[in-house]
Amino acid sequence: MIMDRELEGLSKELERLIKELKRLRKELERLVKPLQRVTLARQLETLVKKFDRLFKKFERLFKQFERLAKQLKGGRIKHYSSSQKILLVGEGDFSFALCLARAFGSAENMVATSLDSRGSLMRNYSKAMTNLLELETRGCKIFHEVDACVMSYHSDLFFMRFDRIIYNFPHAGYMNGSSSSERSTSQIWCHQNLVRHFFISALAMLTTDGEIHVTHKTSFPFSEWKIVKIAQDVGLYLVSEERFSLLDYPGYENKRGAGICDQTFPVGMSSTFRFAKNYLYY
């Protein structure tokens, strides 16, 4: 595939760059040694330390790139594979769904939904129509005006079962418009209510070994949502909590959705919480 050749070429180019950076580092060290008693040496030592920090950061990014390249070649990306039946809930401009579809090469096992109508998406998101068209070309089933709280009763989803149900950054909207505060008790309750009903609905749509994934901010006040406790209350258990990074999902642009829909927001400290059915609950 063309993508495979491009990834391989880029990987080799990055390897060459790392070797060149290592060579330059040794050259800097060589220059510092004869100047140990000169003021300039201190400046060079500072430069070497800065270089080291930059180099280590580059190495981390390179390792992450290599891991992503392997996932893309194998029809996998992070927690997901093309063999899984996947439902995406509450999509904004559908860029996350498209990211998965591109990694898989096909979206035939994917269903992507949004609370918005197709017309609303067209008005509110600059890339939504382009993303939707590519998803449809790749075989993704797309449904609009799907409420996450009652989606298990949706006529098109009622008989479907999924291996992975994904809801990224759930948000109930703002109760009091622009004057709303994420810290207020009533606002947090609204978010908790959304998550609780989503869990109940998603639970009914899971395969035997399926998982529900919720990506969510973990800093205050979002930590006050207590989504793990809510999940446990409805019959789910936490499989794992893993740090979320946008770098793991090339092309994904997280959107605000409420009010200024097409703007991104800082994800900050966020995790993907993976839940599965707790059979002891039943």
Residue 191 has pLDDT above 90, yes or no: yes
Strands 80-81 and 141-143 turn out to be unpaired
pLDDT of 2 reads 41
Helices (H), the chain: 2-32, 39-73, 95-104, 118-124, 128-137, 185-203, 227-234
Query: How large a percentage of the chain has pLDDT more than 70?
Result: 80
Residue 234 has pLDDT above 70, yes or no: yes
Range from 52-56, 89-93, 237-241, 243-247 carrying the lowest mean pLDDT: 52-56
Average pLDDT of the residues in 10-24: 70
The tens digit of pLDDT for each residue in 112-135 reads 999 999 999 999 999 999 999 999
Q: Whole-angstrom Cα distance, residue 144 to residue 131?
A: 14
Give the number of other CB atoms < 10 A from CB of residue 56. Answer: 10
Q: Whole-angstrom Cα distance, residue 106 to residue 137?
A: 9
Residue 143 has pLDDT above 50, yes or no: yes
